[in-house]
């Protein structure tokens, strides 16, 4: 069971969907992962989603996935909120993984509605209700990936459960504003909408991809007054666009490789972005300032430098 209460978890505004790096043997690169997490801590990030879409949880087997959650909880759980992505479209699998995640020390789970083999809204409710019985959980609504929007009435019913933390919401700021007015905590699931979500629609924060690369600036974006944050948001708009030009996490994999934050090793079916797009990123990060960027320096990697693994 989580060592944090729901109310404590809700105080965390900047949560990074952390990248999972790999080595040439095709294994999770724990040393590189630790370095990434240390950078998040250094820049004041509140928490991590481990093994999410950005962390390629769908490409990890459950042994790797649960190992990474356990490792993060053991080594960093006293410094960061640890959210394990233990959701599944298989209720039995989600329950088993969530039980294992809590047993290994994660503070909360991220739970998604069944994708691909979709069910009815009542089936969605029953699925999410069962996993909420196990401990604190964020509900993840991302219709672009699941093909199904979790309806507001289902979320309102789930919000009555003691372990309901809130929603990672990708259906826009109008939805976030609606929920927040009802006392339902929301975190933006879209970086390009998180400024408006935070400063105009009262979101609790963001679960971010961009904070893998610019954690300090994302921290300021959440914390600063609206006028100061607006300038930062304007500065980051081209980065947001670039990171989602191709399906996440391929751009992030490419970016962190180019800054030396990870080795340029990418697990299929993802591939590095092409040379033209890499040059665009160099220009974007130069304008932002490399002092704000995760990594050691810009590496002029060629196509051949990127290694595909399975």
Which CATH number does the domain housing residue 200 bear?
A: 3.20.20.70
Global pTM? 0.97
Residue 175: phi, psi to the nearest 5?
A: -65, -45
In a domain? residue 57: yes
Catalytic residue among 19, 33, 125, 140: 140
Q: Is residue 291 part of a domain?
A: no
Q: Is residue 293 part of a domain?
A: no
Is-catalytic flag, 168? yes
Residue 250 lies in a domain: no
> Is position 116 annotated as part of the catalytic site?
no
In-domain check, residue 301: no
- What is the predicted pLDDT for the residue at 217? 98
8 Å CB contact between 83 and 109: yes
> Does residue 154 belong to any structural domain of this protein?
yes
Q: Which of 33, 125, 168, 179 is catalytic?
A: 168
What CA–CA distance (Å, rounded) separates 192 from 61?
Answer: 31
Question: Can you give the residue range of the structural domain that contains 119?
Answer: 6-225
Question: What are the E-state strand segments in the chain?
Answer: 14-17, 47-50, 81-85, 108-112, 137-141, 164-169, 186-188, 205-208, 265-267, 307-309
Q: What's the structural domain count of the chain? A: 1
Helices and strands in the chain: count of H runs, count of E runs: 13, 10
Residue 270: inside a domain: no
| Per-residue tens of pLDDT for the chain, all 310 residues | 468 999 999 999 999 999 999 999 999 999 999 999 999 999 999 999 999 999 999 999 999 999 999 999 999 999 999 999 999 999 999 999 999 999 999 999 999 999 999 999 999 999 999 999 999 999 999 999 999 999 999 999 999 999 999 999 999 999 999 999 999 999 999 999 999 999 999 999 999 999 999 999 999 999 999 999 999 999 999 999 999 999 999 999 999 999 999 999 999 999 999 999 999 999 999 999 999 999 989 999 999 999 999 9
């Amino acid at each position: 069971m989580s060592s944090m209460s729901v109310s404590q978890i809700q105080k965390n505004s900047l949560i990074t969907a952390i990248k999972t790096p790999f080595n040439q043997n095709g294994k999770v690169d724990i040393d590189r992962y630790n370095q990434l997490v240390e950078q998040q801590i250094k820049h004041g990030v509140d928490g991590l989603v481990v093994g999410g879409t950005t962390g390629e949880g769908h490409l990890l087997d459950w042994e790797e996935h649960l190992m990474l959650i356990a490792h993060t909880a053991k080594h960093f759980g006293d410094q960061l909120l640890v959210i394990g992505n233990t959701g599944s479209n298989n209720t039995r699998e989600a329950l088993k993984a969530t039980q294992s995640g809590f047993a290994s020390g994660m503070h909360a789970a991220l739970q998604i509605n069944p994708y691909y083999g979709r069910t009815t809204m009542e089936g969605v409710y029953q699925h999410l209700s069962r996993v909420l019985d196990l401990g604190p959980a964020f509900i993840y609504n991302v219709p672009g990936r699941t093909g199904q929007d979790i309806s507001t009435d289902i979320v309102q019913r789930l919000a009555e459960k003691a372990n309901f933390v809130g929603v990672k919401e990708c259906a826009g700021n109008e939805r976030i504003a609606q929920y927040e007015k009802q006392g339902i905590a929301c975190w933006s699931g879209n970086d390009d909408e998180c400024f408006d979500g935070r400063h105009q629609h009262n979101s609790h924060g963001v679960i971010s991809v961009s904070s893998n690369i610019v954690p300090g600036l994302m921290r300021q974006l959440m914390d600063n007054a609206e006028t100061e944050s607006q300038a930062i948001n304007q500065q980051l708009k081209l980065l947001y666009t670039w990171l989602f030009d191709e399906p996440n996490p391929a751009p992030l994999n490419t970016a962190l490789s180019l800054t030396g934050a990870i080795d340029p090793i990418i697990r299929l079916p993802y591939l590095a972005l092409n040379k033209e797009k890499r040059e665009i990123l160099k220009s974007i990060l130069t304008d932002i300032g490399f002092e704000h960027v995760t990594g050691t320096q810009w590496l002029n990697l060629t196509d051949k430098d990127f290694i595909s693994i399975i």
